[in-house]
Structure 1
């Protein structure tokens, strides 16, 4: 197994400033490179400083394929190769190292940039979310970084009690719109809610995979969250309540 490094706090701050403040020609020079460029860049601008440290974590590097259809296989392989606690898994220094260094080739191809317009706000937003980790007070940004999104998708959906432990993972990563509607919500860190929604989608078969159906399910969960404490509900209670609400809605 390999030792996993992570960005130092100052180095990560310096990187953010570099991406925000430099001209598009300089940014294009670095972001167009096929190989990781962070170490070269940092030694050029901060020759007397170290930019990374050994996190003391161990992992096996896996090959990630940079296409949407490989998200499921990528996520499973990555999660199995990277044994983290959930506390460790919300350290942006770790994920930015993985997305910008260890899996740079995957990141630049999976979340391709318009290299001619890197100072454009849309491109800057993509860099902040997919290459870095957008700074907020919630954990939601970890569901958008190119590497952490894969790990967290498995972490919150894997169920060893099922014949296929990755049954729910396949649902959430098999449809981009389901991922956006289920994982990137205020209840996204509530594993019982996530699994309850995905199990209901699975139990409903083809009907559950219809856009109007799963969006209505999520809508019902959001509405319930304004009335009751979702944290106190089991996934079975949640599914029963959603089924009841769906029946009423469909028969109005």
Structure 2
């Protein structure tokens, strides 16, 4: 009989994590050798087996011998836990194991800075703790990405008792961690064993493939293989096919996979460059100010002078400054001050407008009413950043504008936009998560403000649903719209199409 978390105790633990004002106070319990369950409400469940100490010891010995050998760890765990798929879908069970038997493993393997007293990346540390301990959900994507549940599920999905080596496919699947938690494991189609085995056969055969005499790269191959297979699945019911037939389908699109994979490599180079540019913009963004200076000789002929780039607005005197630190501390001041990571000057033209805190995670945007923000008088406020999220950009807008999102996925670039009034105001609540605007997987994303005067010209790219998929910059149908967007993008050297 094993113990599991209750839903209430998990909620309390998450609330405790998010509401701590001093990070050190919260981290104290995670710096111990074992997790303190004294204030956690657990319940006994006779349907779950207790993980015996011998298996736990074997797990840690294997990890110490070779930290990167996930297959050996997964095999030990799988053979020690005789549970079915329904039981293994219970996140409350895995959460208990994370904090009990595998507390030290997760800290050492995935949260390596936890015991480093000199670390300055407090927000990154919080993100790691939430990701690897507290954010586990009962979904395939969440379970596969989990440090412990993901190992068990990797074996469950690939073990084949009909083979001489029943773990043949398990070894391939766990040969690279990104196969499990990113490139293959998050796709629904792998629930069919035949489809998964065919994909792993293709990957194993071509992971070291070359194009034009240069090795493509196994991760890029895996990404484009599963993406192509997913597209094939849109035309053919893959579950009706035998394993060899699925493999033949992939073979027929081999050249497509290779070409796309090479494009991914090139795209990642651009993405890394863009990330470095974003890091240089930590001072924040003034309303209408372009964060990277454009060449004055390259002023576009068709540029529309809208509110988002009104010169009077750009140069007008700031009534107040919104200042924010990455630890969540924030305030409003009458003058520009030092010591903050983000600073936004708010002029008269936007005193009835909105501040948008745009996050990297899932495209979350928190829309804050400036008039309510101006009512804050304290010297310093806490919790200005939603727990577990990191800021991509802070924007300022008048009452109505267009917010565009450029995102990169598997080497391709996409765009979609919304009217800002689709984001309901959170009044003066700075630390809320806001609205999720991205449902697609992506590598990086960029937010940009566009004047409302462009609504008619960009109407085909402005969506009513936040779940809408963006349009690819490779799609010539939207060439005119993309030309306008390119004019308003921060960096003219960063070609969008």
Specify the TM-score bucket, using the shorter chain as the normaliser.
0.7 to 0.9
Could you say which residue in structure 2 is the equivalent of 1:47?
A: none
Report the TM-score when normalising by structure 2. 0.44
Give the unaligned 5+ runs of structure 1: 43-49
Could you tell me whether the CA contact under 8 Å between 1:60 and 1:81 is conserved in 2?
yes
CA contact (8 A) 1:117 1:123 kept: no
Q: TM-score, normalised by structure 1?
A: 0.82
How far 1:250 sits from its partner (Å)? Answer: 6.2
Deviation at 1:248, TM superposition (A): 6.5
Q: 2 CA distance for matches of 1:68 and 1:235? A: 33
**Partner Cα distance (2:131, 2:157) in 1:** 20
In 2, the alpha carbon distance for the partners of 1:105 and 1:250 equals: 41
- 8 Å CA contact 1:171–1:198 kept in 2: the answer is yes
Alpha-carbon contact 2:190-2:196 (below 8 Å) kept = yes
Q: Structure 1 residues 60 and 114 mapped into 2: Cα distance closer, same or farther (>3 Å)?
A: closer
Cα distance change of structure 1 residues 55 and 14 upon mapping to structure 2, 3 Å threshold: farther
Corresponding residue SS for 1:69? coil
Task: Give the superposition deviation at 1:70.
Answer: 2.7
Distance 2:89 2:207 in 1: 34
Query: Aligned partners of 1:70 and 1:214: how far apart in 2?
Result: 19
Mapping of residues 187-206 of structure 1, within 5 Å: 187-204=189-206, 206=208
Partner of 1:134: 136
Q: Select which of 228, 231, 236 maps to 2:244.
A: 236
Aligned residues: 239
Q: 1:5–1:97: 8 Å Cα contact kept in structure 2?
A: yes
**Structure number with bigger Rg:** 2
CA distance in 2, matches of 1:15, 1:226: 41
Asked whether 1:158 is paired with 2:149, we answer: no
| 1:3-18 correspondence runs (5 A) | 3-18=1-16
Residue 55 of structure 1 deviates from its aligned partner by 4.0
Q: Is the 8 Å Cα contact of residues 168 and 195 (structure 1) preserved in structure 2?
A: yes
Q: Which has the higher strand share?
A: 2
Q: Greater relative contact order: 1 or 2 (C-alpha under 8 angstroms, separation 6 or more)?
A: 1
Task: State the Cα distance separating 1:113 from its structure 2 match.
Answer: 5.0
RMSD: 2.7
Superposition map of 1:176-191 within 5 A: 176-179=177-180, 180-191=182-193
1-side partners of 2:219 and 2:149: how far apart? 26
| Equivalence map 1:50-89=2 (5 Å) | 50-61=41-52, 62=55, 63=57, 64-65=59-60, 66=63, 68-89=67-88
**Structure 2 stretches lacking a partner, 5+ long:** 211-216, 260-497
CA contact (8 A) 1:6 1:55 kept: no
2:245 and 2:177 map into 1 onto residues whose CA distance is 27
Aligned-pair CA distance for 1:59: 4.0
C-alpha distance in 2, partners of 1:53/1:12? 15
Matched-pair contact (CA < 8 Å) for 1:8–1:93: yes
CA deviation after TM superposition for structure 1 residue 236, in Å? 2.1
1:146 aligns with 2:137: no
Q: Distance in 1 between matches of 2:122 and 2:42?
A: 24
Partner of 1:46: none
Q: Per-residue displacement from partner, 1:43-85 (whole Å, max 9, x unpaired)? A: xxxxxxx433234322443232346423111100100110111
1:118 CA displacement = 8.2
CA deviation vs aligned residue, 1:72-102 (integer Å, no higher than 9, x gap): 1110010011011111111011000001112
For 1:20, the equivalent position in structure 2 comes to: 18
SS of equivalent residue, structure 1 residue 102? coil
Whole-angstrom CA distance in 2 between matches of 1:164 and 1:107: 29
| TM-superposed deviation, 1:125 | 3.7
Residues 98, 247 of structure 1: alpha-carbon distance in 2 compared, 3 angstrom cutoff: same
